[in-house]
Amino acid sequence: MIDNFNYNGNCWWCGSIADSREHKQKKSDFIREFGRNPSNSTVIIKNEKEIIVQGPDSKHLKYEKPILCKTCNSETSQPFDLAWDKVLSYISKEANAENLIHNLDFRLINKIEYKPIKRNFLKYLVKHISCRLASNNLKVPISFLNYLNDISNSLEGLTIHAFYRADIAVLKSLSKKLHNDKYPFLFSRPINGFKNEDNDWLRLHSGISIGIIEFRYVIDEIFIENNFPGINAYNEYPYFPITKIWEPLSIFKDKMEIYNPDKKIPRLEDEQYLDSAYNKNFYEWFNKHK
């Protein structure tokens, strides 16, 4: 169960005074995708309204209020940030590589140090997810804090999966052909979930896209090794298996005949992903191949 909770100006990680406004998506990701001065192609955030963003330090790219202290947001989490940047730099460089469509192989980033890189990469995602929870007045699970603080080597209550955004890959390719430029893309999925009869959150799910790769996650206390044998092996495996999604032709082939300007354009739902996230056979494979 995910509890409602207001941190009242304290850091969700250590409890000190929160005095650092974290970026909703990493500043280095913004710079990698859009550049430091994206004045020629103004960045627009689309939510309830369009907001013009002039650069990576815009207040619109940060959470509305501080939710971390400066120490946790810089010194403590520095190894996580460095690992994330290494992985995302690799993804950006290998965006058109065939192997990236199928696997995110941490051994190709650093064959010797792939284990700590993947663990710190996961820790960055846990930090990112925790910031989203705290900013929405939801309590960060103790299992997340134990993982970040090396009290536990197991990532409990959370499962993360990687997807290849074929639609963004196509747009990047077209943009390069037409403008000799790239197609920048950052996106955070809304946080959705399920409640019980007492209006308590039972599970939440969301995701984050950086360029062609999207990481989706489900927060549910049921995700522990006893319930899903192999989930620890999955988190420690040398690579993330990647599922190809949003293939433009496959999406629109069956939709075009029912399209009508007077009707709503069909939208794909996330039920299929949620079903696969709870598929025990998926995690058992990693136990057998560790």
Interval 81-115: pLDDT, tens: 999 999 999 998 887 677 788 889 999 998 889 99
- Strand, coil or helix: what is 13? coil
pLDDT for 167-204, tens place per residue?
888 888 777 777 666 788 888 899 999 888 888 889 99
Q: What is the pLDDT of residue 180?
A: 62
Whether the pLDDT of residue 238 is over 70: the answer is yes
pLDDT for 134-160, tens place per residue?
999 999 999 999 999 999 999 999 999
Q: What is the pLDDT of residue 170?
A: 83
Report how far residue 108's alpha carbon sits from residue 102's, in angstroms, rounded to the nearest whole number.
13
Whether the pLDDT of residue 256 is over 50: the answer is no
Q: What single letter denotes the amino acid at residue 144?
A: F
Question: In the chain, which ranges are E strands?
Answer: 43-46, 50-53, 103-105, 158-165, 186-188, 192-195, 201-210, 213-219, 239-245
Q: Which residue has the higher pLDDT, 61 or 130?
A: 130
Confidence of residue 260 (pLDDT cuts 50, 70, 90): very low
Give the β-pairing of 192-195 and 50-53. unpaired
User: What is the residue extent of each domain of the chain?
Assistant: 76-288
Closest CA relative to residue 67, chosen from 122, 6, 25? 6
Whether the pLDDT of residue 270 is over 70: the answer is no
